[in-house]
Structure 1
Amino acid sequence: MGDLTELLREGLPAEAVLTDPDVTGSYGRDMAGFCAAGAPAVVVLPRTVEQVQHVLRTATALRVPVVPQGARTGLSGAANATDGCIVLSLVKMDRILEIDPVERIAVVEPGVVNAVLSRAVAEHGLCYPPDPSSWEQCTIGGNIGTASGGLCCVKYGVTAEYVLGLDVVLADGRLLTTGRRTAKGVAGYDLTRLFVGSEGSLGVVVRAVLALRPAPPAQLALAAEFPSAAAACEAVRQIMARGHAPSLLELMDRTCVQAVNSLAKMGLPETTEALLLAAFDTPDPAPDLAAVAALCTDAGATEVVPAEDAAESDLLLEARRLALPALERLRPATMIDDVCVPRSQLAAMLEGTAAIARAHDLTIGVCAHAGDGNTHPVVCFDPADPDEARRARASFEEIMALGLELGGTITGEHGVGLLKKEWLAREAGPVAMEVQRGIKAVFDPLGLLNPGKVLDVPGDHSIGFPAAT
């Protein structure tokens, strides 16, 4: 490791190169379960583009793998270290470089936290819509790497729709600029979209040009209780079929509701089988909320409770954001799935997941971005119990298989990482996988960038790669 650290320190401040195993070990993994993580040789925390370029040039010269990281809030193992790698943490590159209200863009470094950007643009009467549940911790670079979604996707879309241009350091240290700052632009292949969702396997994002929108009015929400998931999903079908454009349309099953109540004492209705949250951020949301309330009632809702003001709406939204941390308290560990299906198959997905939970005698809570069919079944288990861990893994796999059977995808917003790369091949098929490996070879011919993530390529350095000496 001596040559590696010495060369890195030639272009980085001493404090930006970490080698203490007790420290570097803390950068070993993200929040995904069932994903292996290795021991990095070194962790680097650059602050400039030039320093990132130096890291990549050094890695290429010594043939050392590089694992880019943001805040490590991901749920697919995409940020997990491999043995002997350089962990390239971008959290110190956290400057908002520009906010332009005329062009409605923000230019940011990858370590900017999503919520920090949202608050900064709000001062200009603008908003950055993508809002993952971890928005108070996750970084824009991580959001771009995994093509993150969020609670507002049903109306405003996902991260990919807001990334106009990127500066990317390639594996050999060259700096590539993609995209544009203009409202329109179709010159050449869309390389920007290629990097969004690539999970650090094609290059390292060091700057992003992001589209902004005018800040909408405060949203007003309602909560509808249903006696079954099928009834709640029928309400979702009708809401979308009638042309409504909610800013939020979220579903929590009974397990989620009870877990949130246990965590936060919110007084949510624990007897309901499914709780549907709908919100509108139009200047006058009352007509839309009334129409949606009627559709919920027609679909079988036992009670529909509208929020009286923005504060009550925010409380309902907070309940939904607490679903995952609440479920994590039920058992020592969780496996969080991310299967997206057509809205018409949402009920079948939830009912099938419940059947899988019963078959494996497990607690599986489901929260969902119901408006776009993106479900998050959360498998709760004890990893210290080998049989329970085996059943948890089996249920996770069966949930993904169910999603594909229903015409869906194995990941709507969390990415592939380590967790789902075998399933990517099943979903994409051999021709698509051949093309994807070809793209990887163009950008990273030595297989050094985030090896073993997303897809396997010949000669990658994902397992047991020794530290350079």
Structure 2
Amino acid sequence: MGRGGGAVSSVLEELLAVLPSQVVSADDDVRAANAADVTGHLPGGPPAVVVFPETVEQVQTTLRVAHRLRVPVAVRGRGTGLAGGAAAPDAGIVLSTVRLNRIVSIDAVDQLAVVEPGVVTADLDRAAAEHGLRYAPDPASSEWSSIGGNIATNAGGLHCVKYGVTRESVLELEVVLADGSLLRTGHRTVKGVTGLDLVGLFVGSEGTLGVVVGAVVKLQPVPVATETLIAWADSTATAAAAVAAIMSSGGRPSVLELLDQATLQNIDGHSGTALAGQGDSLLLVQTDGWAADREADALLAVLAAAGADARKLSADEAETYVELRRSGRGPRPDLWTIGEDVAVPRSRLVEMIRTIEAIGQRHGLLVASVAHAGDGNLHPALSVAKRPGETAPPEVLRIAADELVRAALAVGGTISGEHGIGALKREWLADELGEPQLDLQRRIKAVFDPLGILSPDSFLAVTEERQLVP
């Protein structure tokens, strides 16, 4: 339920009494611009106020006010999330971390960086490169997304097949809890097993347990060499079988991506390329390290044996193909689209791709899939043409999405590989975790946030009914 106008005014007055006016905004345009992530999901009205802290102390002050008034708070990075996890609470506070954007230090010997949550992911990678290092997690939104948002969702990216998701690169965290207290957890050492792994608990918690205000993250040496291959296949199933062959060959690629025919057509339409006519599906493969060339040659043979037409790329070609994978696609205003993010065991990848295609055919939908295929993470988009007068997506899209997610669970997969659960995928959460584990997770949240003011519309929210039924 929304809060009354008097309560909204009280929140604003209380914050202005203890914070500099330049970090507090109740401007209509500012509130609207910070109310949701890219999904546009907004469960209620706009927030009462947006706070842009510039110091850790200002984050603490904001949460102390919220805690005392029992006002809900949503933490927002740069709004690139794809699961509705940063949706503003009705008449509550949006706490934006964009001004906490310092790279505090980079240590080339210990190979780590100390950063604030508002640092843009690609900016950290570029700064690390000056020391011969890199930040391995690389979501497609790396030029816009922030480290804090990556930590909140345990973001992935192209290099995860070799270097792991965000959790594998976070060593230490500073977190402001719901009552405004400051917690430091983790360690900067290569090894450390003291106590429970609270860092691992905070990573992927989507703002439900506290506000990350600082992080020590692991850096990797820039590879001495990188080789890039492309391979064309006559179907997505053939491409997926080639992925399985690579992963069972003993090779360890640093990138292994799959793009289907509809995705190639989309890239051609938005980037002026001519990919779709060269094959049904495309694999993009990279190897790196001292033996990158030998490993690439070995994978060329594996791909050929799996029925794919593969070749090495020059450095310039490689840069082009990687960028097309990251940003070559564009929106289709003539279509209603639901994008998904599921992951399955690599041994079930071929089966899952065939199932997704069958779901699309059964419901008369266009299916366009890209995948971090090396780790079984699929991003299928289900689309249908907009009809004159339609103002909302037809129910068939939601039904097909439900079938797709349940199919992933049926083969031992997960409902999200890297985008998080947020509000938009929580309807399937109990199907994967089971009610006892979901209840335990809610009780853990209550330890950190006993009043339940953080991210009230999150994946741990208790809902009265599911959006879809089996």
Aligned match of 1:234: 241
Question: Percent identity among equivalent residues?
Answer: 48
Aligned counterpart in structure 1 of residue 450 of structure 2, from 429, 445, 456? 445
1:159 aligns with 166
Q: Residues 21-420 of structure 1: matches in 2 within 5 Å?
A: 21-32=28-39, 36=43, 38-270=45-277, 272-301=279-308, 303-307=309-313, 309-322=314-327, 325-326=329-330, 328-329=331-332, 331-381=334-384, 382=386, 385=390, 388-420=393-425
Q: 1:316 to 1:336 in 2, by over 3 A?
A: same
Distance 1:116-1:81 versus aligned 2 partners, 3 A rule = same
Q: Distance in 2 between matches of 1:186 and 1:429?
A: 29
Q: Out of 434, 438, 454, which is 2:459 matched to?
A: 454
Aligned partner of 2:311: which letter? V
In the alignment, is the contact (CA less than 8 A) between 1:219 and 1:247 conserved in 2?
no
Q: Deviations over 1:74-102 (max 9, x none)?
A: 10000111211100010010001111111
Shift of 1:284: 4.3
Q: How many Å apart are 1:34 and its aligned residue?
A: 6.3
1:374-398 residue CA offsets vs partner (Å, 9 max, x unmatched) = 0001123449636853112222111
CA–CA separation in structure 2 for the residues paired with 1:452 and 1:4: 19
**Which secondary structure state, in structure 2, belongs to the residue aligned with residue 270 of structure 1?**
helix
Q: CA offsets per residue over residues 302-356 of structure 1, 9 Å max, x none? A: x22320x222111111121125x43x23645532211000111111111111111
Q: Is the 8 A contact 1:437 1:457 kept in 2?
A: no
Q: CA deviation at 1:457?
A: 4.4
AA in 2 matched with 1:195: F
1:292–1:35 CA distance, 2 compared to 1 (3 A): farther
- Specify the SS of the correspondent of 2:193: coil
Distance 1:205 1:111 in 2: 10
Give distance in 1, aligned partners of 2:120 and 2:30. 22
C-alpha distance in 2 between matches for 1:229 and 1:396? 19
- Find the residue that maps to 1:454 and give its secondary structure: coil
Farther off after superposition, 25-34 or 372-381: 25-34
Whole-Å separation in 2 of the counterparts to 1:135 and 1:334: 23
Cα distance, 1:300 vs structure 2:
1.5
CA pair 213-37 structure 1, distance change in 2 beyond 3 A: farther
One-letter code aligned to 1:446: L
In 2: Cα distance, 1:244 partner to 1:210 partner: 27
> SS of the counterpart of 2:184?
strand
Distance 1:127 1:197, change over 3 A: same
Aligned letter for 2:163?
Answer: Y
Q: Provide structure 1 residue ranges, at least 5 long, that are not aligned to the other structure.
A: 460-469
C-alpha contact 1:33 1:334 (8 A) present in aligned 2: no
Match of 1:465 in 2: none
Take 1:22 and 1:171, find their aligned partners in 2: how far apart are those partners?
27
Equivalent residue pairs, number: 455
Bigger relative contact order, structure 1 or 2 (CA pairs below 8 A, ≥6 apart): 1
Report the TM-score when normalising by structure 1: 0.93
**What's the TM-score, normalizing by structure 2?**
0.93
State how far apart, in whole Å, the 1-side matches of 2:154 and 2:217 are: 13
Show the counterpart of 2:433: 428
**2:230, 2:40 → 1: CA distance?**
32
> Could you tell me how far apart the structure 1 residues matched to 2:61 and 2:45 are?
23
